[in-house]
Structure 1
Amino acid sequence: MSTTRQTPEVSTSTVRGLKPRQLTMMGLGGAIGAGLFLGSGKGVAVAGPAILLSYVVAGALVILVMWMIGELSAANPTSGAFSTHAQNAFGPVAGYTVGWLYWVQLAVVTAAEANGAATILTGILHNTMGDVAVPPTWVLSLIFMALFTTINMFAVSKYGEFEFWFAFIKVGVILAFLVVGVLMLIGVIPGHEGGLSNFADFAPTGLAGVGAGLLIVIFAFGGTEIVAIAAGETADPQRSVATAIRTVAWRICLFYIGSVFIIVAVLKPSQADPPEGPFAAVLNVAGMPAAGNIMALVAVFALLSALNANVYAASRMMHSLAQRNYAPAGIKRTAHNSVPRRAVLFTVSFGFVASILEALFPGKVLDTLLSIVGSTIIIIWISVAASQITLRHRRERENPGERSTTYKMPLFPFLSYLTVALLVVIVVIAMLDPAARTQLLLTVGATALIAVTGIFVTRRTRQPATVHAELDDAAADAPAASEQEQERDR
């Protein structure tokens, strides 16, 4: 009988196997993807040099949201992250809705990233090899899904190391690009006249362009929230999360704003959105050979890195939902290395199916799904802001004068309400743009549908309104069971 009682505790828990440096680079790498290497050119084309204002506003918002995530995650480090925080603040239905909405978003985006990376790589192979022995896009997409499914089956410490170097290489590419760009602007590298003459016409499309650019930019910053997910598997989470938040926030702004500054200084708005991306266009101006293919490969690399991080984040969110009885019970079980492999397989299954459907119906399946979840990040950030304000007020009311050693949002409540105001501005701007309005309304509709199902599901559970980190990591500090016991439980 004692074995029967012990087995579920051991077989459903993850471990704190991530190191602080891995957490920092995961947060950094999660936000450096195709949105920067490919999408930044679209913003420049829309707003010209004034796109820098869009990046400043979006960057400020990201820092504020990251501070909120830092406070919530340091106080309650759990893989359920903002889903758990929403549940603690507003009840089970809120936790269910936020968790499943985030999982759906990542499942769809993962499939899109595999397809996007395969499409770009197919183009590179055609350019270099012709039509000989070039596999079709859907085959490459399936290969990518299989590869990163395998990687996510490794113990979290090994996964964290892999993702650390993945992100490190992307950061190195950006730093090299910034150096080349600065040398071009000061006239050391020929091909550009140097100086900042492009800034003479700073806002060719006025405030409308800045607003349209802001909608493009804001979604490029998605991925930073993986820090909150990974906090549940990080050693010394209070200190690690605080360090990651401080470093990730300013580094993202430096890389994004610095890179876009180089792009707008070197390229005219009409030149900023070529098929190979703005980074390749800048390097072509610098006279660097094969720049287009090199940066296209970097874009493939960035997409695959984001895919890897998203599979991790989605599987941990699903694992947390299962532990709260909001997903099938079998999904909460972990393998001998404490990885929720069933959650990983359930997550990537969507990507495998979507890859095949995309081969059968090109441009229809994924494009439709992406239009539904395209504004999910706004909903998630709103939930983070609302949860942080509610829980902070609650803690201060219940424990007046208490001094906490955990990370806290600075200048509370002013900066918290400023975050809410900025999010409201983003929503208003989106509602004024026809395409963005449709996308936002579809996302709101999907959120409402999930919430309705959540009402029925949470009524059948006995889950308390407040969930602590121990739920996700009940055995994190407990003695490890033997490998034989854990293998039997699989």
Structure 2
Amino acid sequence: MNSERQLHGNLKPRQLSMIAIGGVIGAGLFVGSGVVINDAGPGAFLSYAITGVLMILVMRMLGEMATSNPSTGSFADYARRALGGWAGFSVGWLYWYFWVIVVGFEAVAGAKVISYWIDAPLWLLSLGLMMLMTCTNLFSVSSFGEFEFWFAGIKVAAIVVFLVLGGAFVLGVWPERTMDFSNLIVHDGFLPHGPEAIFSAIVVVIFSMVGAEVATIAAAETRDPARSVTKAMKSVVVRISIFYVGSLFLLAVIVPWNSTDLGASPFVTAFTVMGIPFADTLMNAVVLTAVLSCLNSGLYTSSRMLFVLAARREAPVALTRVSRRGVPVVAILASSVVGFLCVLAAAISPDGVFLFLLNSSGAIILFVYLLIALSQIVLRRRAKEGELKVKMWLFPGLSVLTAAAIAAVLVQMAVTPGTQISLTLSCLSWVLVLGVYLVVRKRGGSVTIAQPVHAEAPSSALVAAE
């Protein structure tokens, strides 16, 4: 196999575990969770619990497929095998598009955080962050993994500190405090806007948990993909249960749900109520870490998807070229360029072009998750008895229920005024991708999984240990 078109298996298991954890804990937890509490009331943690269960089920389905057949293309390849070329093409390009838009968005968000300390134009700070993370990804996959390991470690440490201090505060193990859970029921009760608010909030919450699936892509660049992805998937279950649900419960207990300060920065507000000094500075640093983690993962994920698409003759073959360190340089640079363009769009037309890009990618991750669920159902039925190392629980009932739940979230988006435009534009994005697929197929592009792939169009699972 041509060494210029092979990825190297240099990610360590500890790095993959942290990639999975870091993917779950995004900046949305530290910033956006306050808005969810304002909208749903003290019971907002139930929205996170329900969404967490849904994400765990999706990850279990992915884990089943990834352990039996690790691939750089991961769920794009699984969709191709299960549903056909159109599905693999759709997942690959839609997921790439989602992440390059996220890269631009996170670069702008990171610049806003840095402006807390440094007075400089946002576009300049954004481009600086983009260049930093691009260089990190270009150097080696190990450097990406190490950065992500420490980024995720800081996020985990911050939440653990909050859980410990917040738990002591509400239980009365705190100077001049007694046990107090009254904020859960005062101010119009536990569910001030009714039970429906809990389900409406899921539309927002699910986007804050996006990213854990990156581990199944990164697993193909480890020495033992099947073992690594199994360990990473198990860690996601615990982290979602404790970090999201636990921290949201404590936030609802510490700060009144109708506090206007929650919307800006809920953790800062909670630490302030507890009397912790320098809370704003400390949490800004944590939020910046979360943003950089997402930016780092976004560049990694989008470049690997481009690599796979090129391997399947569904993108320019030049995108499969890698450096001597096993890094897909051209694919990383191509994704970075689109990220740079998004940053410029945010600077020039924040309420026009940039807002359009955000809306046109808003529901895409749900489309991808739905195709993942459908792929698992099909592939599980084809699997031989005893060949699966990890199995989805209570198949087929729980798999079908997961797919139905994702479809229900899409329906919720369709009937919610604030998300209708995002769903509509995301659907148009998918239609455009399908149109491009038909053109590619007509011109002889796109290969199936079973076809042998030559050096000029390498396999999507080109992962070789050094």
TM category (shorter chain) comes to over 0.9
- In the superposition, relative to structure 1, how do residues 422 and 453 fare at CA in structure 2: closer, same or farther (>3 Å)? same
Cα separation, 2, equivalents of 1:202 and 1:447:
39
CA RMSD of aligned residues (A): 1.9
Q: Which residue of 2 aligns with 1:420?
A: 403
1:389 maps to 2:377: yes
Cα separation, 2, equivalents of 1:473 and 1:359:
38
Q: Which residue of 2 aligns with 1:309?
A: 297
CA contact (8 A) 2:113 2:288 kept: yes
Cα separation, 1, equivalents of 2:463 and 2:273:
56
Larger deviation: 352-361 or 278-287? 352-361
- In the superposition, relative to structure 1, how do residues 249 and 388 fare at CA in structure 2: closer, same or farther (>3 Å)? same
1:247 maps to 2:241: no
Q: How far does the alpha carbon of each residue in 1:45-102 deviate from its partner, in whole angstroms, 9 at most, with x for none?
A: 0011121221111011011000001011112211111111111111112111110000
SS of 2:57 mapped into structure 1: helix
Task: Compute the displacement of 1:273 (Å).
Answer: 5.0
1:358 maps to 2:342: no
Q: Which residue of 1 aligns with 2:32?
A: 39
- In the superposition, relative to structure 1, how do residues 242 and 296 fare at CA in structure 2: closer, same or farther (>3 Å)? same
Pick the aligned partner of 1:443 from 426, 432, 454: 426
Q: Which residue of 1 aligns with 2:392?
A: 409
Q: Which residue of 1 aligns with 2:365?
A: 377
Q: Which residue of 2 aligns with 1:463?
A: 447
- In the superposition, relative to structure 1, how do residues 189 and 178 fare at CA in structure 2: closer, same or farther (>3 Å)? same
Task: Compute the displacement of 1:288 (Å).
Answer: 1.5
CA contact (8 A) 2:172 2:178 kept: yes
1:105 maps to 2:98: yes
Task: Compute the displacement of 1:472 (Å).
Answer: 2.9
Q: Which residue of 2 aligns with 1:147?
A: 132
- In the superposition, relative to structure 1, how do residues 193 and 114 fare at CA in structure 2: closer, same or farther (>3 Å)? farther
SS of 1:189 mapped into structure 2: coil
Task: Compute the displacement of 1:276 (Å).
Answer: 4.1
SS of 1:390 mapped into structure 2: helix
- In the superposition, relative to structure 1, how do residues 189 and 272 fare at CA in structure 2: closer, same or farther (>3 Å)? farther
SS of 1:279 mapped into structure 2: helix
Pick the aligned partner of 2:207 from 213, 219, 223: 219
- In the superposition, relative to structure 1, how do residues 93 and 149 fare at CA in structure 2: closer, same or farther (>3 Å)? same
CA contact (8 A) 1:238 1:407 kept: no
Cα separation, 1, equivalents of 2:160 and 2:463:
41
Pick the aligned partner of 2:219 from 231, 243, 252: 231
Larger deviation: 354-363 or 189-198? 189-198
Q: Which residue of 2 aligns with 1:169?
A: 154
User: How many residue pairs align between the two structures?
Assistant: 458
Q: Which residue of 1 aligns with 2:320?
A: 332
1:282 maps to 2:270: yes
1:432 maps to 2:415: yes
Pick the aligned partner of 1:91 from 81, 84, 97: 84
CA contact (8 A) 2:77 2:449 kept: no
- In the superposition, relative to structure 1, how do residues 220 and 242 fare at CA in structure 2: closer, same or farther (>3 Å)? same
Q: Which residue of 2 aligns with 1:483?
A: none
CA contact (8 A) 1:42 1:272 kept: no
Q: Tell me, which stretches of 5 or more residues in structure 2 are unaligned? A: none
Cα separation, 2, equivalents of 1:244 and 1:120:
30
Task: Compute the displacement of 1:233 (Å).
Answer: 0.9
Cα separation, 1, equivalents of 2:60 and 2:371:
14
CA contact (8 A) 2:72 2:462 kept: no
Larger deviation: 356-365 or 239-248? 356-365
SS of 2:277 mapped into structure 1: coil
TM-score, structure 1 length as denominator?
0.90
Q: Which residue of 2 aligns with 1:125?
A: 117
Q: Which residue of 2 aligns with 1:264?
A: 252
Q: How far does the alpha carbon of each residue in 1:433-459 deviate from its partner, in whole angstroms, 9 at most, with x for none?
A: 112222112111111110111111133
Task: Compute the displacement of 1:414 (Å).
Answer: 1.8
- In the superposition, relative to structure 1, how do residues 277 and 191 fare at CA in structure 2: closer, same or farther (>3 Å)? farther
- Which one has a larger percent helix, Structure 1 or Structure 2? 1
Letter of the structure 1 residue corresponding to residue 365 of structure 2: I
SS of 2:143 mapped into structure 1: helix
CA contact (8 A) 1:79 1:233 kept: yes
SS of 2:258 mapped into structure 1: helix
Cα separation, 2, equivalents of 1:273 and 1:357:
30
CA contact (8 A) 1:192 1:266 kept: no
- In the superposition, relative to structure 1, how do residues 294 and 475 fare at CA in structure 2: closer, same or farther (>3 Å)? closer
SS of 1:125 mapped into structure 2: coil
Cα separation, 2, equivalents of 1:306 and 1:165:
13
- In the superposition, relative to structure 1, how do residues 210 and 405 fare at CA in structure 2: closer, same or farther (>3 Å)? closer
Task: Compute the displacement of 1:154 (Å).
Answer: 2.0
Larger deviation: 430-439 or 327-336? 430-439
CA contact (8 A) 1:37 1:278 kept: yes
TM-score, structure 2 length as denominator?
0.94
- In the superposition, relative to structure 1, how do residues 474 and 115 fare at CA in structure 2: closer, same or farther (>3 Å)? closer
